[in-house]
């Protein structure tokens, strides 16, 4: 087989450099490189003929590349293009720390990135795209969607939320690809069993939520003051030395960069950001209500836990339902009028360490409250009780769906998370009429564990995708971590899986 030019998007772990080399040895040569900026130099040195685009600069500066190729009128009218542009505009919220990045500016930046990438993909004769995980930066999403719409095979990894395993997907929403090569999953099977067994005693609190709760409990004004002075010093240094590329160990910095000079951080930015976060929290507290589970007149309800935004789990993982409001409206239409929906905001939306103010407007809570028989539920109401009492749990991709199935209820998902095909979990698009749905079988821990192990055996590859996943998993599993993660083995298995699938599509 002749060499295939690929569009390569490395995530933040060094193993992605090894994967690029492994794919190259198998005839898949990186021709466009757009990913974690710490590996840009590696990309330039190892693949000197590749077009290496710095992810940060590409987001904050308009492209000056002469555009040779443009799409047809049919393409510009297509659903693929319209949805790509809409999703990209929403992704730009992640750059809009102070809500100063207006629609007109976003429109120009979108076309700058789109024109550049479309032309480069055609020029470089890209035959496949490989990305760390479903792309959640604007430029990467544009490139992914262009390739998809042109019929170019796309490959991304999806992580298991309980154990350090990944699977290779050919699309953001859809079934995974069977893993190629031999794998020893004995310890992973034990850990998934242990994780699911914990639900026999109720719904446990995940480690990431405990970490956030501990951070918020220890928050002090002195810490905020130190953060503010650090911000002022940083602004002064940037004025003197220019804007160096970020050196942090994750990929979130690109989301808080300000395009062009008009949206640069100002000395009042931390105060404005904190004000936006507090306004969101206060609005929800004012509009939400408690739930009296002892009330004999408590109506039948479906529990809809809101996703934390901005985050990959809704956009792009939600597919057509990447907007929580779209999913909620579709659910309301599906349910009988007398079945209520209890909506609870994700606690992380108000966490001081996160950027929930960029993912939701306080106005959205008023819009939700106006919907027929839809109630906003206070943050203090335990999610476990809502899950236990609900007719079923419905979410975009969140693990609350699987948790409902594990305790003998039903979970409904709009997207296709790794557990979408397990017993007790149903796809929203496949639901029968409401009364018929409630007659469908529920499941239990034993049945779900068996099915989960079968899925892992077919699709699971030991490993983690990014530095943040790596560190979180290391904290979670402690001394067992080195036995669960082998980056060298992961590189070979992922490459072998992609190459085998690519060849099968060309037969």
DSSP one-letter string for 414-452: SS--TTTTSTTEEEGGG---HHHHTTS----HHHHHHHH
The pair of structure tokens assigned to 400 is 């609350």
Cα–Cα dist 187/190, whole Å: 5
Strand ranges inside 12-57, DSSP E = 28-33, 51-52
pLDDT in tens, 370-426: 999 999 999 999 999 999 999 999 999 999 999 999 999 999 999 999 999 999 999
Mean pLDDT of 164-181: 94
Whether the predicted pLDDT of 494 surpasses 50: yes
pLDDT tier for residue 94 given thresholds of 50, 70 and 90: confident
For position 247, what pLDDT does the model report? 47
pLDDT in tens, 111-124: 999 999 999 999 99
Is residue 145 a contact partner of residue 80, using CB atoms and an 8 Å limit?
A: yes
For position 468, what pLDDT does the model report? 87
The CA distances from residue 247 to 74, 338, 398, 480, in Å, are 42, 54, 31, 29
Mean pLDDT of 300-311: 95
Strand ranges inside 308-370, DSSP E = 340-344
**Looking at the whole model, is its pTM more than 0.85?**
yes
CA end-to-end span of the chain, whole Å?
12
For position 246, what pLDDT does the model report? 45
For position 32, what pLDDT does the model report? 98
pLDDT tier for residue 69 given thresholds of 50, 70 and 90: very high
Is residue 37 a contact partner of residue 245, using CB atoms and an 8 Å limit?
A: yes
The radius of gyration of the chain from alpha carbons, rounded to an integer in Å, stands at 23
* DSSP letter (8 states) at residue 244: P
Which range in 207-221, 258-272, 324-338 is most confidently predicted, on average pLDDT?
324-338
With pLDDT > 70 as the criterion, what percentage of the chain qualifies?
Answer: 87
Domains of the chain: 4-183+460-505 (3.40.50), 281-454 (3.40.50)
- CA 496, distance to chain mean position in Å, is 25
**CA nearest to 149, candidates 71, 226, 57, 92:** 71
Q: Compute the 3-state secondary structure of the chain and give helix, strand, coil in percent, each to the nearest 5.
A: 50, 10, 40
The pair of structure tokens assigned to 4 is 């295939």
Average pLDDT, the chain: 89
Whether the predicted pLDDT of 279 surpasses 70: yes
């Amino acid at each position: 087989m002749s060499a295939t030019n690929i569009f390569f998007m490395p995530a933040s772990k060094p193993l992605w450099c090894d994967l690029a080399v492994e794919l190259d040895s198998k005839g898949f040569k990186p021709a466009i490189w757009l990913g974690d900026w710490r590996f840009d130099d590696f990309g330039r040195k190892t693949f000197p003929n590749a077009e290496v685009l710095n992810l940060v600069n590409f987001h904050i500066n308009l492209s000056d590349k002469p555009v040779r190729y443009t799409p047809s009128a049919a393409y510009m009218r297509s659903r693929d293009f319209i949805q790509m542009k809409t999703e990209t505009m929403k992704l730009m919220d992640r750059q809009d720390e102070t809500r100063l990045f207006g629609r007109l500016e976003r429109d120009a930046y979108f076309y700058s990135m789109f024109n550049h990438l479309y032309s480069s993909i055609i020029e470089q004769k890209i035959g496949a795209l490989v990305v760390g995980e479903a792309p959640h930066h604007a430029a990467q999403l544009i490139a992914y969607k262009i390739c998809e719409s042109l019929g170019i095979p796309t490959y991304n990894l999806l992580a298991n939320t309980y154990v350090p395993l990944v699977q290779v997907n050919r699309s953001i929403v859809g079934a995974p690809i069977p893993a190629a090569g031999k794998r020893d999953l004995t310890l992973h099977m034990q850990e998934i069993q242990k994780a699911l067994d914990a639900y026999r005693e109720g719904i446990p609190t995940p480690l990431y939520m405990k970490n956030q709760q501990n951070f918020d409990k220890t928050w002090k004004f002195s810490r905020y003051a130190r953060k503010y002075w650090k911000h002022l010093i940083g602004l002064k240094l940037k004025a003197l030395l220019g804007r160096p590329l970020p050196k942090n160990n994750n990929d979130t910095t690109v989301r808080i960069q300000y395009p062009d000079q008009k949206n640069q951080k100002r000395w009042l930015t931390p105060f404005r950001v904190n004000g936006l976060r507090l306004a969101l929290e206060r609005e929800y507290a004012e509009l939400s209500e408690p739930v009296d589970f002892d009330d004999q007149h408590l109506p039948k309800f479906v529990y809809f836990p809101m996703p934390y935004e901005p985050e990959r789990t809704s956009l792009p993982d939600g597919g057509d339902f990447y907007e929580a409001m779209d999913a909620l409206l579709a659910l309301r239409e599906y349910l009988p009028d007398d079945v209520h929906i209890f909506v609870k905001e994700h606690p992380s939306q108000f966490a001081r360490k996160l950027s929930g103010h960029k993912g939701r407007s306080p106005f959205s809570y008023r819009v939700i409250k106006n919907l027929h028989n839809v109630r906003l539920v206070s943050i203090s109401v335990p999610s476990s009780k809502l899950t236990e009492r609900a007719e079923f749990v419905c979410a975009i991709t969140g693990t609350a769906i699987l948790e409902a199935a594990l305790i003998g209820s039903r979970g409904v998902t709009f997207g296709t998370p790794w557990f979408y095909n397990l017993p007790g979990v149903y796809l929203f698009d496949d639901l029968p009429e409401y009364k018929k749905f409630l007659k469908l079988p529920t499941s239990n821990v034993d049945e779900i564990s068996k099915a989960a192990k079968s899925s892992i055996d077919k699709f699971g590859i030991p490993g983690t995708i990014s530095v943040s996943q790596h560190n979180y998993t290391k904290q979670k599993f402690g001394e067992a971590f080195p036995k669960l993660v082998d980056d060298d083995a992961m590189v070979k298995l992922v490459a072998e899986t992609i190459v085998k699938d690519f060849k099968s599509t060309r037969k």
